[in-house]
Amino acid sequence: MPDFDLDARFAFGSRLVVEAANLALSYFQQLGSLTIKSKGLQDMASEADLNTEILIRDHLAAAFPKDAFLGEETGRTEAVDGARGIWVVDPIDGTQPFVSNMPNWCVSIAFVLDGRAELGFVCAPARGEVFIGRRGHGATLNGSPISVRKSARMTDGLVGTGYSTRVPPQDFLPVLGAVLEQGGMFFRNGSGALMLCDVACGRLIGYLEQHINSWDCLAALVMIEAAGGVVSDFLADEGMWRGHALAAGAPEVFPSLAALVGVQPLEV
């Protein structure tokens, strides 16, 4: 789209995610002084989440004032008339691991243009990892190209599994059982974005979740698609605002995962 400068946004997002992650890391290194609040069952937040999101939001507003914004902590900005793009941000995905002094958390920033996720930036500073992806241009981990696992079957590796308390346990447990019945094994680390990035670089063969929010996954879905994987059509049916079921993975294993959570692949 020649009239829209994705190159500038890609360069800016690549720098911004590291700056924001460094701020979050400074809070992580002084956990004892943080004020931590519960937003619901197994749903935590602290000033680290809020201040990291404010940094991201304010920097984006200054650089690209016509773009819209959706953040987990501060919500949705009023769209500027004629705005085609929206930044979708989770300042700390994996807050429970974060406040538990575990490294499985990250800053996640996505850019969606005309209803399609185009750019993804995920930084996990406690793991020393920066994932960057652009649809049609590949994905990298710390600057090196990555790709999904090739010729993967359910029996070949681990499947990342997310869980939301919006889904009753009696609906969630049969999905785990179906993974096991197909010879697979499930894995969970507390951060949907990081598990999806682990799919993009071939550590996990796939990922599934019965309900996940857009800020938790869009950046990493860009990574998977750019790394040769298949993702479900997350933004269908108001997924941006309401969340959606999700499947993603290597092309060979994706149909099995999608069938378990009832989703369709995103058209290329």
162 and 252 both lie in a single domain: yes
Q: Is residue 216 part of a domain?
A: yes
Residues 6+ apart with CB under 8 A from 261: 175, 208, 209, 210, 232, 245, 246, 247
Among 113, 145, 177, give the residue marking a domain's end: 145
pLDDT at 189 over 60: yes
- pLDDT, position 194: 98
Q: How confident is the model at residue 40 (pLDDT cuts 50, 70, 90)?
A: very low
Q: How confident is the model at residue 267 (pLDDT cuts 50, 70, 90)?
A: confident
Q: How confident is the model at residue 166 (pLDDT cuts 50, 70, 90)?
A: confident
- pLDDT, position 152: 76
pLDDT at 211 over 70: yes
Q: Is residue 1 part of a domain?
A: no
159 and 110 both lie in a single domain: no
With CA atoms as reference, report the closest residue to 103 among 92, 117, 89.
92
pLDDT at 182 over 80: yes
DSSP-derived secondary structure for 14-72: HHHHHHHHHHHHHHHTTGGG--EEEEETTEEEEHHHHHHHHHHHHHHHHH-TTSEEEET
Phi then psi dihedrals of residue 52, to 5 deg: -65, -40
Q: What share of the chain is helix, strand, coil (3-state, %, to 5)?
A: 40, 30, 35
Residue 170: CATH number of its domain: 3.40.190.80
- pLDDT, position 3: 64
Q: Is residue 266 part of a domain?
A: no
Integer angstrom CA distances of residue 96 from 25, 143, 189? 15, 28, 10
The whole-number average pLDDT for the span 247-267 is 94
- pLDDT, position 80: 62
Assign 107 to helix, strand or coil: strand
Mean pLDDT lowest for which of 38-42, 212-216, 225-229, 234-238?
38-42
11 and 139 both lie in a single domain: yes
- pLDDT, position 57: 96
- pLDDT, position 44: 47
Residue 153 near residue 252 (C-beta atoms within 8 A): yes
134 and 161 both lie in a single domain: no
Which residue blocks in the chain are alpha helix, DSSP H? 6-28, 47-63, 95-99, 169-181, 192-200, 214-226, 239-242, 254-261
122 and 171 both lie in a single domain: no
209 and 80 both lie in a single domain: no
Residue 139 near residue 71 (C-beta atoms within 8 A): no
pLDDT at 79 over 50: yes
The whole-number average pLDDT for the span 37-42 is 53
pLDDT at 136 over 50: yes
The whole-number average pLDDT for the span 208-225 is 97
DSSP character for 265?
A: B
- pLDDT, position 41: 47
With CA atoms as reference, report the closest residue to 198 among 164, 163, 173, 161.
161
The whole-number average pLDDT for the span 79-106 is 89
Structural domain span for residue 88: 6-145
Could you tell me what percent of the chain has a pLDDT over 90?
80
Q: Fill in the amino acid letter for 77.
A: T
With CA atoms as reference, report the closest residue to 263 among 226, 235, 223.
235
The whole-number average pLDDT for the span 200-226 is 97
